[in-house]
Structure 1
């Protein structure tokens, strides 16, 4: 009977295999956006600036396996550190499951299609530009509010 219940409903995050963990990513690209943190309040602001390794159409990392070598500040989410990432958007499956909420209907694990995140308008595809095309002094001008 438990085999009929999807793994994300019957397992805690720390019980998932590496492939199960990876499959939770919906491919929205929000975690690959440049974020700015207010030093006084700790509030995190998303920008429309993407990591240089993000394909801005598909929202996938072009250097996923080697991302930390290419982008040393790239964050790797794990079941052990997921609670540290308060900045993850509400729609992120890692955050959703960590907070005990169900996956949204458009999540690829439910829809069966990796395109459902784009069709639902949740992804950053075609909505962002590479951060390395904008001087860092201008990043505040790229703060967005439609991500969350």
Structure 2
């Protein structure tokens, strides 16, 4: 019996169903962190300050279906805007697939476990600050949201060695 390749390996982003597209989100929360752009140089700076709707424990939006009602400038990702967006983190599945890199081992669609994005240290869990408590964004500039993570795969523990 042959197994079919997963949809993200056989379809272009523009060919995916809405359900497939939405399942690409790994739940890291990095795209929900505020960014600053220098008006003169156009340079982008990342912060560790999250949108007020981001649950910093689950790293998911508290009201995803209605988020634009609460946060009008929240960007809705879809294939037609990916080329215009320069702030998606390098770990983002949408960006990775658009660049032909495939999904990382810690992505829930690959690992089969929605917690690997957290255990691998990819998510904002434990590193983000809500905009409700942060103060000036300029005081929260960090590099890690815009850097390519290099998490180590956990090594299997042989039976009886726990």
Give the match's secondary structure for 1:86.
coil
**Corresponding position: 1:86 with 2:90:** no
Alignment RMSD (CA, Å): 1.5
TM-score w.r.t. structure 1 length? 0.94
Where structure 2 has 5 or more consecutive residues not aligned to the other structure, the ranges are 148-162
Q: Runs (4+) of structure 1 moved beyond 3 Å? A: none
| Aligned counterparts of 1:20 and 1:2: Cα–Cα separation in 2 | 22
| Aligned counterparts of 1:2 and 1:133: Cα–Cα separation in 2 | 52
Give the match's secondary structure for 1:66.
helix
| Aligned counterparts of 1:98 and 1:82: Cα–Cα separation in 2 | 8
Which residue number in structure 1 is paired with residue 60 of structure 2? 60
TM-score w.r.t. structure 2 length? 0.86
How many pairs are equivalent? Answer: 146
Which residue number in structure 2 is paired with residue 112 of structure 1? 112
Which residue number in structure 1 is paired with residue 23 of structure 2? 23
Within a 5 Å distance, the mapping from 1:1-148 to structure 2 comes to 4-135=4-135, 138-147=136-145, 148=147
Cα offsets for 1:14-61 (capped at 9, x unmatched): 000000000000000000001101112222111110000000111000
Where structure 1 has 5 or more consecutive residues not aligned to the other structure, the ranges are none
